[in-house]
Amino acid sequence: MKTTKLLLGAFLALNFGLWTACSKSDKPVDTGGGDSGTEGKFIIAATPAATQGVADYLLTTDNLDQGTLSTKNNGVEQDGTWRYYTTSGNLFFSMLYGQGNPGAVTAYKLDAAGALQKVTNFQTETVQAFAPVDKDILLMKIARSASNDISHWYKVNTETLQLNGEGEINTRALAGNGELAHFSWLTQVGNKVFAPYFSIKADGVDGFGTKYPDSSWIAVFNYPDMSLNTVIRDNRTSFIGAYFTNGLEVDEKGDVYAYASPNATSNGVITSTTPCAFMRINSGTTQYDKSYFFNISEKSGASYISFKLYLGNGAFLLGMTDPENPASGSTDRFAIANVYNQTFAWVTGTPDPAKITSVSELNSYSPKDGKTGYVGITTSDGKSAVYKFDAASATASKGLEVEGGTITAIRWLPSKA
């Protein structure tokens, strides 16, 4: 099994140019949710099958429940093979990951006929985490070598389209244990930024290994000056999320749920001994609720969480790993979990786990109605389809089929911001 990882390059250059100021202040970047109740289109990114080193095609559709799309003589071809996608307001961003080098970013919007139209193209530098915060996009370029312990943050205002702040964080000092803090993601929580991190040796030999496998940390920054407020620490789990994987979710009540899978290593060997679990930070606080611990390992056996999709009302669709290789990070099967009542149910109706070859958080979408989620799944026979997940019954059914391509992203794009 293979999980397509989200590796997004997104430091916005000074020629940010025509990026519209029409961003939703509550969610200017959509990383898997969205609101399909308004007028717009679903965007499906797909890589043509039976080819190597080719670019994705962007396809549009009105629904994910049924029908067929094809990459043959259809869609908007992208430039470059490593593309990753997000939305902001009524714009769809196609980002070329530069693998350390600057990469192009192309933005599209829907025209009156519902077709994608290019509105701008600009250059970026590679960053490893980003998030919408107030009316900014906060970006983090993260240090990860012994000779460089300074990480850089940048803010781009979505109304003025200007870089309106930048600064440095000494991630060795932040870790405070001789290793470096490496942020897994960034999330706005109230008027602060929560930045979970894992501790890495960054020694040139065992770079992402650690001497501290059974601890989790969340750096809490004040906004907008990004001064450090506190660090939330715990030793009931390993680190929150994973590389370029968001382990936090803020629910409708303002409570924060954080998941951890025991994936920490030393010299290539898993050394975590804690369970896979959810923990909770109550609204308005900067500490874990010690009375809350949702032990996923007790429910799933040997499987770990590989990614999450929040469905709303406490319900999550979880990608789960192969029980025979739980630390692989690859999605083997799926489960529905509710963090409110701590229920867990395996999903039926998905393809044979042995045949799943591509699935990830980027391939998922939910209207956050507490009921429904969608995931693009590709199988070893080369077939790709969007599967609809029902939270109440813990079942999945095949919806939209994509012919001639591997689904790499699903996004909802409104016609108006």
Percent of the chain with pLDDT over 70: 85
pLDDT at position 29, please?
32
Is the predicted pLDDT of residue 409 greater than 50, yes or no? yes
User: Of the candidates 281, 181, 183, 294, which has an alpha carbon nearest to the alpha carbon of residue 232?
Assistant: 281
pLDDT at position 80, please?
64
pLDDT at position 158, please?
67
CA–CA distances in Å: residue 85 to residues 18, 31, 154, 244? 18, 9, 20, 14
Q: What is the pLDDT of residues 375-388, one digit of tens each?
A: 999 999 989 999 99
Q: What do you get for the CA distance between the two ends of the chain, in Å?
A: 38
- What is the average per-residue pLDDT within 53-67? 89
pLDDT at position 217, please?
98
Q: What is the pLDDT of residues 156-181, one digit of tens each?
A: 776 665 678 899 999 999 999 999 99
pLDDT at position 141, please?
87
pLDDT-derived band at 124, boundaries 50, 70, 90: low
- What is the average per-residue pLDDT within 40-68? 87
Is the predicted pLDDT of residue 49 greater than 80, yes or no? no
Is the predicted pLDDT of residue 51 greater than 70, yes or no? no
pLDDT-derived band at 86, boundaries 50, 70, 90: confident
pLDDT at position 34, please?
40
In 184-281, at which residue ranges do the beta strands (DSSP E only) sit? 187-189, 192-200, 216-222, 228-234, 248-250, 256-260, 265-266, 269-270, 277-281
pLDDT-derived band at 28, boundaries 50, 70, 90: very low
- Distance between CA atoms of 186 and 402, rounded to whole angstroms? 32
pLDDT-derived band at 127, boundaries 50, 70, 90: confident
pLDDT at position 48, please?
85
Percent of the chain with pLDDT over 90: 61
Considering the chain, what is the average pLDDT of its residues?
85
- Distance between CA atoms of 17 and 15, rounded to whole angstroms? 5
Judging by DSSP bridges, how do beta strands 395-403 and 68-70 pair with one another? parallel
pLDDT at position 122, please?
67
Q: What is the pLDDT of residues 181-224, one digit of tens each?
A: 999 999 999 999 999 999 999 998 999 999 999 999 999 999 99
Lowest mean pLDDT among 17-21, 320-324, 341-345, 370-374: 17-21
pLDDT at position 125, please?
61
Residue with the bigger pLDDT between 15 and 212: it is: 212
Does the reported pTM lie above 0.75? Answer: yes
pLDDT-derived band at 295, boundaries 50, 70, 90: very high
b vs e for 113-134, b when ≥16 Cβ sit within 10 Å of the residue's Cβ? eeebeebbebbbbbbbbbbbbb
- What is the average per-residue pLDDT within 55-76? 90
Is the predicted pLDDT of residue 8 greater than 50, yes or no? no
pLDDT at position 101, please?
63
Residue with the bigger pLDDT between 125 and 358: it is: 358
pLDDT at position 250, please?
97
Q: Where does residue 162 fall: left (phi above 0), alpha (psi -120 to 50 degrees), or beta otherwise?
A: beta
- What is the average per-residue pLDDT within 335-345? 98
Q: Which residue has the tokens 């992208």?
A: 78
Residue with the bigger pLDDT between 93 and 203: it is: 203
- Distance between CA atoms of 96 and 105, rounded to whole angstroms? 6
**Residue 142, C-beta contacts closer than 8 angstroms, at least 6 positions apart:** 127, 128, 129, 151, 171, 182, 183
Is the predicted pLDDT of residue 13 greater than 80, yes or no? no
Task: Sort 99 into a burial class: Cβ within 10 Å, 0-12 / 13-18 / 19+.
Answer: exposed
Domains contained in the chain, CATH given:
11-414 (2.130.10.10)
pLDDT at position 16, please?
34
Q: Which residue has the tokens 């907008």?
A: 224
